[in-house]
Amino acid sequence: MLDAIEAVNWARIPGPADWYRPDLAAFGLRALATATGLVQAARAGSVLAGGGLVHDHSGGVFPAVVTAAPILLAIARHGHSEAGTTALGLLDDALAFATHDRHTRVATPYAEAVAICCALADRLRGAADLLAASGRGGKWLLAEAAEHWRFDVQESEADGDDAVVLGTLAGRFPAEGPQTVELHLAGRVTPLEQVALHYRPEDGSPDACLHVTGVRPSELAPPAVLLPARCAPGAVAL
Q: For 165-177, how does the pLDDT look when each residue is reduced to its tens digit (9 = 90+)?
A: 999 999 999 988 8
Residue 201 has pLDDT above 90, yes or no: no
Question: What's the whole-model pTM score?
Answer: 0.94
Nearest to 116 by CA among 234, 238, 231, 227: 231
- Tens of pLDDT, residues 122-161: 999 999 999 999 999 999 999 999 999 999 999 999 999 9
Note whether 121 and 171 are within 8 A (CB): yes
Please give the single-letter amino acid code of residue 144: E
Nearest to 70 by CA among 146, 126, 13, 151: 126
Kindly report which listed range (17-31, 90-104, 189-203) carries the lowest average pLDDT score: 189-203
Q: Provide the pLDDT for residue 158.
A: 95
User: CA-to-CA distance for 72 and 69, rounded, in angstroms?
Assistant: 5
Q: Which pLDDT band, with edges at 50, 70 and 90, does 106 fall under? A: very high
User: CA-to-CA distance for 72 and 65, rounded, in angstroms?
Assistant: 9
User: CA-to-CA distance for 22 and 53, rounded, in angstroms?
Assistant: 8
**CB burial class (10 A; 0-12, 13-18, 19+) of residue 100?**
exposed
Q: Which pLDDT band, with edges at 50, 70 and 90, does 1 fall under? A: confident
Q: Provide the pLDDT for residue 205.
A: 87
- Tens of pLDDT, residues 6-39: 999 999 999 998 899 999 999 999 999 999 999 9
Please give the single-letter amino acid code of residue 213: T
Note whether 45 and 54 are within 8 A (CB): no
Note whether 26 and 8 are within 8 A (CB): yes
